[in-house]
Structures are given as C-alpha cells and as structure tokens.
Structure 1
Amino acid sequence: WSAKDDDALMAARASGYNWNQIAARYFPPKTPNACRKRYERLMERRNTEERDGVKVETMVEAYMEVRQEVWSVLAARVGEKWALVERMVRFRPDQQVRGKI
C-alpha cells in the first residue's frame, strides 16, 4: 500500500462506498477484506495519534473533575480517605494489582 493508495482508500470509504465497491473500483488486484483490514489499520494509527495529543488532555481534565467522586466509593468501603486510596492503588506496582483483579 502506498500513501496514494491510503488516501484513495480513506476518500472512498468517506464517500460511502462498501468494501466490494472499493476493491473493484480502486484496487482491482486486492480483495475487499484486504481493503477493510488496511482501513482498520489506518484508523487505528490515526486514533493512536489522536490519543497521544488532544484526547489525552481531555481525558486528564475529565479525570481531575471526577477523581474525588470515583475514589470516594472505594475509600468509603475500606474506611480510608479518598486521596490516600487513590495514591495507594495508582502507584502500586502492576504485578501486585494484576493478580487481584
């Protein structure tokens, strides 16, 4: 797949073509499934790039808005302050938590 192919694939899909139409019209040697899989990979890459930027900032802001509410439920159950519970769980090594979840 070339960059030009990727652009054509994205444009065709955005135009509403299905995979059979895309393969036949733009990529005759490729199967509809090959077109679909390439599109999925491109979208995954695109989503990863977005997560690395703006989406991460949005998630951090949302987390900061609800963190007390989220951790308070667990804190009430174990009889501790929510900030202490957050620190204890968030900064605990993964291998200690992994076997318990």
Structure 2
Amino acid sequence: MTGPALDVFLADCPARTALDLIADTWSVVVVVGLAHGPRRYSALLERAGGISKKMLTQTLRRLAGAGLVERPATRGGEYRLTDLGVSLLGPLTALTAWAEEHADELA
C-alpha cells in the first residue's frame, strides 16, 4: 500500500520541504563535496569556494538534522554522508552535470 500522492504546489507538502532543503546551492555543494568520502570541516571549507565558515556550519547542521550528513563525534573528525545522503547523489550529480553543461546559456 502506498501513501497519498504528494503535490509540491501545496504549501504544506512534505516533498516541498525536502526540496527546500536540497535545492539550496550550498546544500548541493556540500553533499557533492562529500560524494567521494568523508571530509574534515577545513577540507570542505577549502573545497567549497566562496562559502563562509558560518554558512558552512549552518548548512552542515541543516543536512545533519535532515539525516543526510553524519556529524563527527569529536572535534576535528570527518563529516560523511548517511545512506540517505548517498541516495541523493544520483539526482544531484545529474543536476550539477546539467548546470555545468548549460551554464553559458543561462548566464
């Protein structure tokens, strides 16, 4: 048995909440940045050009709160994708490839 159909046009649609989380530029950058394995905070900060420490911290907290990223248990540990986060890589990889392919047209 499946649940009711979701309608992203409705303000209270759970799928819309999920889209709000993952459609954020920095969320995409961080998840893709963790695609090849765990990274320390400083490595993510260096890899994600243009992000501030405050924004990276907020983004990591949001992604961890949603169950997409696992925060390190100790200071200096590594952030990693959860199984749910890994499941997001396919769609995000397709989206980033499309964005790279069409960046000139959209500029």
TM-score under structure 1 length normalisation: 0.33
Greater relative contact order (Cα 8 A, min sep 6): structure 1 or 2? 2
**Higher helix fraction: Structure 1 or Structure 2?**
1
The structure that is strand-richer by fraction is 2
Structure number with bigger Rg: 1
